[in-house]
Amino acid sequence: MFTGLIQETGRLVQASARSSGVQLRIHAPGIVADSDAGDSIACNGVCLTIERLSGDSFETHAGAETIRRTTLQNWRSGQLINLETALRPSDRLGGHFVQGHVECVGICTGRRPEGETVHYSFDIPAEQMIYVVEKGSIAVDGISLTVTAVTDSGFSVAIIPHTMAKTTLPQIKAGDEVNVELDILAKYVRRMLLGTDAAATQPSGGITEQFLRENGFIS
């Protein structure tokens, strides 16, 4: 479990193809100083496992399923990677609950400065938009962000200077792909409301008061 608060931007030193996926070596002195082999690490929002430490770098492996579902296939040596170690029970939960399980790849559709704030917009697959709400939480490349606006095909976020300075967001431009993890609480709520066959039980008019009464959620 993670919070979406980036601890360090590491630099990808090497990405080597393997029969079962890709072996990554990432230079990250801060992370290495407080980590051990076997620890979970979120890399641009993807939960991976540190396999070994070497100097100021760590190595980790991404399997085929992870590569299919994320932007990892596009990672290149030299690029910066958002990094976060797993949440400890004693840590402050400053962001939101992030699992490191990427649901989809989003595409940046625009970037607009407004004073010191930078507004980004992203499109994601239409079927995922049911989980995105204005003022809700969303993780983009592992960064915990607040949704400022929602459209039929995507969402917008407003980035403050601190977040710009501490993450890889400055290198993202229109057309770039990002890893998107939706709010796990929204997914569980929808599952509980619609049951096991969401497609069959989805009310045609959306979730209404009548639907909630008929299914025993309110009296």
Q: What share of the chain is helix, strand, coil (3-state, %, to 5)?
A: 25, 40, 35
The predicted model gives 163-189 an average pLDDT of 94
The string of pLDDT tens digits covering residues 81-117 is 999 999 888 888 888 989 999 999 999 999 999 999 9
pTM (predicted TM-score) = 0.86
The answer to whether 33 touches 131, Cβ cutoff 8 Å, is no
Position 212 scores a pLDDT of 65
The string of pLDDT tens digits covering residues 24-78 is 999 999 999 999 999 999 999 999 999 999 999 999 999 999 999 999 999 999 9
The string of pLDDT tens digits covering residues 110-138 is 999 999 999 999 999 999 999 999 999 99
CATH of 1-87+98-196, picked from 3.10.520.10, 2.40.30.20, 3.40.50.2300, 3.40.50.1580, is 2.40.30.20
Helix (H, G, I), strand (E, B) or coil at 78: coil
Write the CB contacts of 135 (distance below 8 Å, at least 6 apart in sequence). Answer: 146, 147, 148
Residue (of 49, 40, 43, 37) closest to 12 by Cα position: 43
